[in-house]
Amino acid sequence: MNGYVASILAGMCTGIGALPLIFVSKISKVFEDFLLGFAAGIMLFAASFSLILPALEEDAIFQVISGLISGAILIGLIEKIIPNINMGQVRNTNFENKVLAKTIMMIAAIAIHNIPEGFAIGVGYASGSQDRGIILAMAMGIQNAPEGLVVSAPLIEKGYSKGKAILFAFFAGIGEPIAAAVGILAGSVIQPYMPFTLSFAAGAMYYVVSHELIPESHCHGNQVKATFGVIAGFIVMLLIEYYIMK
């Protein structure tokens, strides 16, 4: 599958994940936190086994280390430059005033949040391994679905129609294909530095998991459920990796 097409499909999963809101208007905090943990587990596996492990096989440890640090620093700088884009603030946004402006802010927040994921898909395809690209696209698509549900459900609680909430989730996935295009281009142009590029994507994903997904899933008293969500996400990716790569 073409990397651009795969990234578009992965981005659309953010909206697809919100489709259950057609039938329900609210999801429990316990389930939300489990889903965030699930997304974190998927990202941890994908970053470690689909990005870092192939990078280490190239025997360029300094590229791997510098890539990890650079990816994390970039996402940290983006959060500094564009405040209020983390998952917790998106979920708890007050809609009493300036609804349109805050909705645009939330779409931008999730789109930015999807940058490391889309970049990972792009560099996965650019690395020359079709299987790696497919695994990363599947991983990002699967973890986008619960994120779409978690960030869209509060919109309905705060007065949005179900249709608008779901549409918001589809728009929020726009960052994925854009970042994937950058990843494909970067991987193609700087092929000798592929270990750095792979690790760069991994570092960005580790930052999102540690700074946003895990803390947000552990701040409502549902730490155990969220932790098993992480393990469940890891196992899902383990099965995908095993059956595609064997």
> For the chain (length 246 residues), average pLDDT per consecutive 10?
82 90 84 92 93 89 95 87 59 55 63 80 81 86 86 77 84 83 80 87 92 87 94 93 74
pTM: 0.84
- Nearest partner of 71 among 84, 91, 55, judged by Cα: 55
pLDDT at position 95 is 53
The structure tokens listed for 42 are 């998927």
The structure tokens listed for 147 are 């994120």
Chain-centre distance for alpha carbon 84? 17
Nearest 5°: the CA angle 36, 79, 67 is: 85
**DSSP letter string, 131-199:** HHHHHHHHHHHHHHHHHHHHHHHHHHHTT--HHHHHHHHHHHTTHHHHHHHHHHHHHHHTGGGHHHHHH
Distances (CA, A) of 239 to 57, 135, 206, 223, 245: 22, 11, 21, 25, 10
pLDDT at position 246 is 61
pLDDT at position 196 is 92
pLDDT at position 101 is 57
